[in-house]
Structure 1
């Protein structure tokens, strides 16, 4: 599956926002600076995530964006669907009644596509945003400890 910049940048921005959960609204400009994503593009991405019910906007001085739900309740799949639409790498007409396929009843490949789609969906839906943040923080802590050990020698 090849994600567009919407999915890649949007997920980065969403994780950045989630890291500041509980601190208050996070401004587009602060996310832009930390993630090196243009403010205009972030505004478009946040609008999509707001429409999907993943973030809320807070107006006024000190305003910005906050998560609409806890990071532990939002999966990578939720974010990618809000930004990209379907997360299926293969659209097979055999599993979408609105599409037509002349060989769907005798097609063997459809079973491969179904397994691929199910695997991708299970993977992105099984990764919660809070888990990503915890893993990232742990890796950064481990890296800092390793660097400190090197300099003490």
Structure 2
């Protein structure tokens, strides 16, 4: 599985917000500065993260973005599943009826196991652990 830039960069934006959890909201300019991403691209990512209920915003002079939950309650899976269009090894590993060989494919079980392992891994890692340096982005 390859993560798209949305997934990778979304993790970086969430990392910045996680580093500031419990503090004042973080401006888009600050997130942009720390991630090296354009404001426009960040707005797209954050819009999707807001729809997922992971991020919210505050208007005004001291406004910006903040996490809606404690980083220990947000998994990497929560982030990726809301940013990635496709989360799996192959399309047939996440949806039925995609492939005409579905019933006789010798690799289908392999793909299913791979997807299960990936999901287990990303669901076991919290944003808090990434912020603490246990994992490096």
TM-score (norm 1): 0.82
Once the 2 structures are TM-superposed, how far is the Cα of residue 100 of structure 1 from its aligned partner? 4.2
Q: Is the 8 A contact 1:77 1:87 kept in 2?
A: no
Partner of 1:108: 106
CA distance in 1, matches of 2:32, 2:45: 12
The answer to whether structure 1 residue 49 and structure 2 residue 49 are counterparts is yes
Of Structure 1 and Structure 2, the greater helix share is in 1
Question: SS of 1:106's equivalent?
Answer: coil
Secondary structure (helix, strand or coil) at the match of 1:92 reads helix
Displacement of 1:54 in angstroms is 0.5
Q: Aligned runs of 1:113-152 on 2, under 5 Å?
A: 113-135=111-133
- Corresponding residue number in structure 2 for 1:3: 3
SS of the residue aligned with 1:8?
helix
Most deviating of 111-120 and 101-110? 101-110
The residue aligned with 2:21 is 21
- 1:33-72 matches, within 5 Å, as 33-72=33-72
- CA displacement 1:5-38 (0-9 Å, x = unmatched): 1111111011111100011111110011111111
Choose 1 or 2 for highest CA Rg. Answer: 1
Asked if 1 retains the 8 angstrom alpha-carbon contact of 2:92 and 2:98, the reply is no
For residue 147 of structure 1, what is the aligned residue in structure 2? none
Contact kept in structure 2, 1:58 and 1:65, CA below 8 Å: yes
| Contact kept in structure 2, 1:49 and 1:79, CA below 8 Å | yes
Runs of 4+ in 1 over 3 A off after TM superposition: none
Alignment root-mean-square deviation, CA = 1.9
**Alignment gaps of 5+ in structure 1:** 140-153
